[in-house]
Structure 1
Amino acid sequence: MTSALLSRAMCGTVDTPLLPLPDRVVGLLSELGSPSRLAAHLRAVHDVAHQLVAWLEQHCPAMAFDREAVLFGAATHDVGKTVHVSELSGPGAAHEEAGQALLLAHGVSPELARFAATHASWARSPIGLEDLLVSLADKIWKNKRVPGLEDLVVARLAEATGRAVWEEFIALDEVLARIGDGADERLAFQASFPIHG
């Protein structure tokens, strides 16, 4: 049975306007007994991913990418922290492989389960645009700017649009600054849920 706290973290009405997590993810997190703090984090990153893909579709309509994969990846990237709960409040990477294994064990395709393992390894080559967008959403939700990651996204944008790198840099910088402006509210939302229980 899903607790009221977990349910509110995943899809309840909250002061910070965040999209609810997809039903499939709600079911999975409920089944795994996810900490409500983790669910709140996944919801915040998922919401940011929605903003990023909406911008990308408008800014670069010809760019081919799997929108639903990005959104699912953002909504599940840290699912391994249901097993490695200490990594909710401290450093660690054990949740990455554990998350991918959990998703695979629950019938998620390898194409979607991979985000649990790749969201922190964006510097490895080759990496798809979808993986870069999940990684970017996982940083910008709290207004953390990572120049190397952003440079990889800018390069993909410039390649797809034919515009100069500096033009794409400015465009991406503007949207990330706008999304980053909501970081304090998202951080407060996440912090309002306990790590345990």
Structure 2
Amino acid sequence: MQPLPDDVHELLTALDAPPRLVAHLRAVHDVACVLTEVLADRYPALGFDRAAVRYGAATHDIGKVVHRDELTGPGSRHEPAGEALLVARGIAPGLARFAGTHGSWTAPHTTIDDHLVSLADKIWKAKRVEDLEDLVTARIAVDCGIARWEAFSGLDDILDAIAAGADERLAYQARHPA
């Protein structure tokens, strides 16, 4: 599993982030690393910012240090809180935004980068979300000049391969206390 970026690890330590949150962010970051590498190799014309997606995956749930009840239960208060926390800590708004957008991929202002962070946050545990995958499929088809069915088939193969490791990632996260 890929380690979190040093600055993210330092931030999580400074915020006294719960071990479960750190484990979750590491698992989603690892998936984002794999996802962005495979997408860049398979679809070199797909326009996305690999570094931004990876950073977004590494910090997307950081607002849960403020709303700790959302570590083990549902809620979305952590999204704006995480974005605000990152900006307050000097993180560029363009990177901090992922904490706010990872749960709202259908919002009109979201980009392929936002969609890939959201996708990593779902597929790490083998959850498939059709409308999210449709957004990514459409972008692959347009950017790469291929038929939509071809883009769908390729993305489906990539996501199936990543999802195959979900049990191991879930077990890794579960070993860390909330």
Question: What is the TM-score of this pair, normalised by structure 2?
Answer: 0.99
> Is 1:134 aligned to 2:150, yes or no?
no
CA deviation string 1:25-59 (max 9, x = no partner) = 00100000000000000000000000110011111
Uncovered stretches (5+) of structure 1, i.e. residues with no partner: 1-17
Runs of 4 or more, structure 1, over 3 Å off, are: none
In the other structure, the counterpart of 1:5 is: none
Name the CA distance, whole Å, in 1 between partners of 2:177 and 2:127. Answer: 23
In the alignment, is residue 179 of structure 1 matched against residue 162 of structure 2?
Answer: yes
Distance apart, 1:110 and its partner CA: 0.3
Matches within 5 A, 1:54-69: 54-69=37-52
- Aligned residues: percent identity? 59
Instruction: Tell me if structure 1 keeps the 8 A contact 2:46–2:139.
Output: no
What is the identity, as a one-letter code, of the residue corresponding to 1:149? L
Could you say which residue in structure 2 is the equivalent of 1:80?
A: 63
Provide structure 2 residue ranges, at least 5 long, that are not aligned to the other structure: none
Q: Which residue of 2 aligns with 1:98?
A: 81
Structure 1 residue 62, shift from structure 2 partner = 2.0
Alignment coverage as a number of residue pairs: 178
Q: Tell me which amino acid in the other structure corresponds to 2:74.
A: P
**Partner in structure 2 of residue 36 of structure 1:** 19
- TM-score norm. by structure 1 comes to 0.89
* Preserved CA contact (<8 Å) 2:140 2:151: yes
1:119 aligns with 2:92: no
Structure 1 residue 148 corresponds to structure 2 residue 97: no
CA distance in 1, matches of 2:110, 2:85: 22
CA distance in 2, matches of 1:106, 1:58: 34
